[in-house]
């Protein structure tokens, strides 16, 4: 039963993640003219898509690698490498998302980093970079002692959850900010809930549900990878999957 509930949650999560990505692309395509890497508003349109893909969906995928029961048995190194590689890909896409918005601001002579959304985003990306570097140096490279890894593991896990939470907050505030700007001079303003506002608000709620489900999977103790030789009755997934 436990393994079925895990996989039900897992597949529901990735359906939600795929929906978040598709709906963000659709929003930018339908209401904002699509995409072009040319410094115009069409370049900006890459920003929300890349942030949702990198900072939310792929970041979550990397965070959940060790929740897969298949990762509980056998060598841990391949799973470490997968965890690090997914995080690195998420970080690269996130940086490209920042490049898109900064290039658009530079060409349009718009100031950078003045809004709460931008502050949240930059803090999130900075913590993400520090987290990845710490994880690579301490947990992937072979030089660190078991004592050091045991000491830093709770810190690494804690900041992983914090970064995910900040990522969700950054995306939600970004959706809200984009709607305020794009509907500021519209015939039907944001307060009258035009079609774009309803669509983007629904997208934001979907991102929140996705984030909450990720946090739920991360925090269920019976779904965590057990330490070697410590599989207990509270961690039945490996037994159920055998």
Phi-psi region of 113 (alpha: psi -120 to 50; beta: other; left: phi over 0): left
Here the tokens at position 157 are 């896990």
Provide the residue-wise pLDDT of the chain in tens; the chain has 242 residues.
Answer: 577 888 899 999 999 999 999 999 999 999 999 999 999 999 999 999 999 999 999 999 999 999 988 888 888 899 999 999 999 999 999 999 999 999 999 999 999 999 999 999 999 999 999 999 999 999 999 889 999 999 999 999 999 999 999 999 999 999 999 999 999 877 889 999 999 999 999 999 999 999 999 999 998 878 887 766 555 544 555 454 44
pTM above 0.95, yes or no: no
Specify the CATH number of the domain 5-223: 1.20.120.1770
Q: Where are the domains of the chain?
A: 5-223
How many Å apart are CA 112 and CA 98, to the nearest integer?
Answer: 11
């Amino acid at each position: 039963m436990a393994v079925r509930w895990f996989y039900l949650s897992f597949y529901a999560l990735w359906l939600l993640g795929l929906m978040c990505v598709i709906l963000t692309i659709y929003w930018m395509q339908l209401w904002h003219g699509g995409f072009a890497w040319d410094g115009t508003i069409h370049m900006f349109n890459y920003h929300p898509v890349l942030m949702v893909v990198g900072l939310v969906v792929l970041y979550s995928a990397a965070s959940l690698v060790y929740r897969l029961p298949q990762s509980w048995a056998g060598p841990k190194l391949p799973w470490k490498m997968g965890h690090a590689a997914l995080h690195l890909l998420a970080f690269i896409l996130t940086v490209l998302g920042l490049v898109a918005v900064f290039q658009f601001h530079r060409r349009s002579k718009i100031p950078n980093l003045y809004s709460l959304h931008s502050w949240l985003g930059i803090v999130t990306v900075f913590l993400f970079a520090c987290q990845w570097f710490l994880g690579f140096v301490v947990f992937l490279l072979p030089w660190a002692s078991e004592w050091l890894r045991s000491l830093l593991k709770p810190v690494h896990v804690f900041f992983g959850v914090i970064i995910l939470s900040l990522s969700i907050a950054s995306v939600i505030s970004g959706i809200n900010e984009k709607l305020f700007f794009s509907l500021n001079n519209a015939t039907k303003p944001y307060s009258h809930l035009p079609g774009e506002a309803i669509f983007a608000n629904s997208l934001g709620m979907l991102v929140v549900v996705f984030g909450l489900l990720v946090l739920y999977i991360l925090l269920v103790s019976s779904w965590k990878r057990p330490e070697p030789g410590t599989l207990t009755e509270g961690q039945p997934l490996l037994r159920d999957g055998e």
